[in-house]
Amino acid sequence: MRNDNRKKRKEMDYASFFISQINSQNNWDYVAIPNEDEQRNDGDVDVYARSKNFNTLNLQLKIIDKDYKKNEISRERKPLVIQIRNIDSVKWAKETIRESALGYSPGVRCDMILLLCLYHATPLDKQYAKREFQEFEKSDFKAIYLIIPPLCSNNNKGDITTIKSL
């Protein structure tokens, strides 16, 4: 039960960050609402984004928060570590998108926003990300985003990389 609460808090943190960003970019008014009873109610949805003016968005979060310290060799090679972390992050993201596509029916995917959440990562270069994730632009998912929350990225503002936009 305790781990479930911790997981739900993490999901809400990531979802709230994502929603605050899309709200500010688009002048929207979404609010994050946790799916408190996933066993009985929309088991594929972790968090709802609800609005007075727009349709509800169904958010499915995939979180990786392991540290890639195994790749760290020394402090002098920190740029290399960042590069390895991003390569690992991109690889994980691609695998997760593919696995998620197999795990949900097309009817569910078309209403689902997939949020890939990375705790220990640095923001991806936008052109690099566009090339790496090009194959997913026509995905059945409503949208796909890669999320790095504030305080975890070097710029301390967090980052959202669009893989497939709303």
Q: What is the pLDDT of residues 10-42, one digit of tens each?
A: 889 999 999 999 999 999 999 999 988 765 666
Rounded-to-5 percentages of helix, strand, coil across the chain? 45, 20, 35
Residue 158 neighbours by CB under 8 Å, 6+ apart: 17, 21, 147, 148, 149, 150, 151, 152
Beta bridge partners of 34: 47
What pLDDT score does 120 carry? Answer: 65
| Whether residue 85 has pLDDT greater than 80 | no
Higher pLDDT, 4 or 1: 4
Cα 158 from Cα 147, distance rounded (Å): 8
Q: Which two tokens stand for residue 86?
A: 């991003």
Q: Where are the alpha helices (DSSP H) in the chain?
A: 2-26, 78-103, 106-109, 126-132
Number of domains the chain contains: 1
Q: Please provide residue 50's backbone torsions phi and psi, each rounded to the nearest 5 degrees.
A: -110, 150
Domain that holds residue 51: 2-164
| Whether residue 81 has pLDDT greater than 60 | no
| Whether residue 112 has pLDDT greater than 70 | yes
**CA 15 remoteness from chain centre:** 8
Q: pLDDT category, 66, cuts 50, 70, 90?
A: low
Average pLDDT value over all residues in the chain: 79
Do the beta carbons of residue 134 and residue 163 sit within 8 Å?
Answer: no
Mean pLDDT of 119-130: 79
Q: pLDDT category, 49, cuts 50, 70, 90?
A: very high
